[in-house]
Amino acid sequence: MTPGVVPRSAVRAAAALAVLAFTGSPAHAGSLTVRDPSNAWTVNEDPQADANDFILKHLINGTAPDARFGRNGETAFTLGAANDAPASVRVDATHRTWMVGASLAGNQPQPVIARFRADGAADLGWGVQGKLQLTPAGVAIKPNDLLPLADGSVLVAGETTGVARPRAAVFHLNADGSLDRGFGAAGVWQRADDGSASTATSLAASTDGTVAVAVSVRGAKPGAELWALSDAAPAVAQRKPMDDNTDGEDLRVEWSTDHWVLEDGGGTTGVVPPALLANHLASHTAAPAASDPGEGGFNPFAAVAASAPAAPSDDDGLPWTGIGIAAAVLAAGAAAFALRARKPATVIRKPPRY
């Protein structure tokens, strides 16, 4: 080691300890690998000794590097000054990559949400240079997971910090990155304080477009909860007790064919199916405003019905075709007569006498 030079591992360790001082042990339900039948996206620490970043890669068929992705098949990135690893990485149905992590601001963790285009480049239409850092509604939150939605917005789940008892928290960012103030209380939903600490560990979408969050409850009665999310009033859909040997930080919610499952453990996640918050469906089916350049009416759940066949006409035997032509001729004549009637008459004036 070069004298006087602090290794990056020590910097990261110090930053991580500073975050953990406020948040406790980190959650592990989030994944840094996403797979579908034909693709994989991975995030790993840059192996170069003098590097201070992470590497995002896209693998074709899950194994072969995509040379067209990013620069020479990879994208280097950092989330914050201490460059902590992302807590979770997600890929939406358009193959944009989303990730969330934390950066310290005023000795409190601040969520950082990054977005990359399908080709691996930072999405410059999101935040600043593809990253958005915020303290939603003034609430300090350590993020554990995120879930992109079909309208370009995103949910972030985690826990509040800097309080006597951490509470599970979820906030919703609109497609332009602004905080959705209509979600929860002024933009942040928190599990009610019942005397137990809690954390929101995992988010998931079902194939029918609904959204749920897993909540780990710690204290005298540890438990695992599944909350159905909407922007009206999140509600508990499942609850089961947990024993003292279960690591609630590993709690993950998954959609299995036709029902939700709460389970422990990490592992890869799949591409997020199109989903929306329930109360947003009506607004997304509305027609675009006059100032909307054609993008305001997207609804992934609305099917366009086929045109119905025209009803057969009832023929009563009268010569309606001939009658129609005669009526058109009469109407044209009446219109011509009206135009002539409106034409101003020419007035001949006598010359004045001098």
Q: Which domains does the chain have, with CATH numbers?
A: 8-284 (2.120.10)
Q: Could you give the strand order of the β-sheet that contains 131-133, starting from the edge strand earlier in sequence?
A: 88-91, 97-105, 108-116, 131-133
Chain-centre distance for alpha carbon 97: 11
Report yes or no: 194 and 149 within 8 Å, Cβ to Cβ.
no
- The predicted pLDDT at position 279 comes to 52
How far apart CA 41 and CA 91 sit, in angstroms, is: 8
Instruction: Determine the pLDDT at residue 292.
Output: 28
Alpha-carbon gap, residue 311 to 65, rounded angstroms: 57
Least confident piece of the model among 127-136, 171-180, 332-341:
332-341
The pLDDT of residue 232 is 73
DSSP 299: -
Torsion angle of C-alpha atoms 308, 310, 312, 316, degrees rounded to 10: 140
Structure tokens at 299: 């609804």
Q: Which of 17-21, 27-31, 308-312, 336-340 has the highest mean pLDDT?
A: 27-31
Question: CA 182: distance to chain centroid?
Answer: 15
Give the pLDDT confidence of 78-115 residue by residue, as tens digits.
998 776 889 999 999 999 999 999 998 888 899 999 99
260-316 pLDDT, tens digit each: 999 887 789 999 999 998 654 433 333 333 322 222 222 222 332 333 333 444 444
What's the whole-number average pLDDT of the chain? 77
The mean pLDDT value for 198-204 works out to 96
Helix (H) or strand (E) holding 56: strand 54-60
Look up the pTM and report it: 0.72
The stretch 205-228 carries a mean pLDDT of 93
Pick the range with the lowest mean pLDDT from 41-45, 71-75, 173-177, 218-222.
Answer: 218-222
Q: Is the pLDDT of residue 27 over 70?
A: no
**What SS3 state is found at 307?**
coil
What percent of the chain is predicted at pLDDT more than 70? Answer: 69
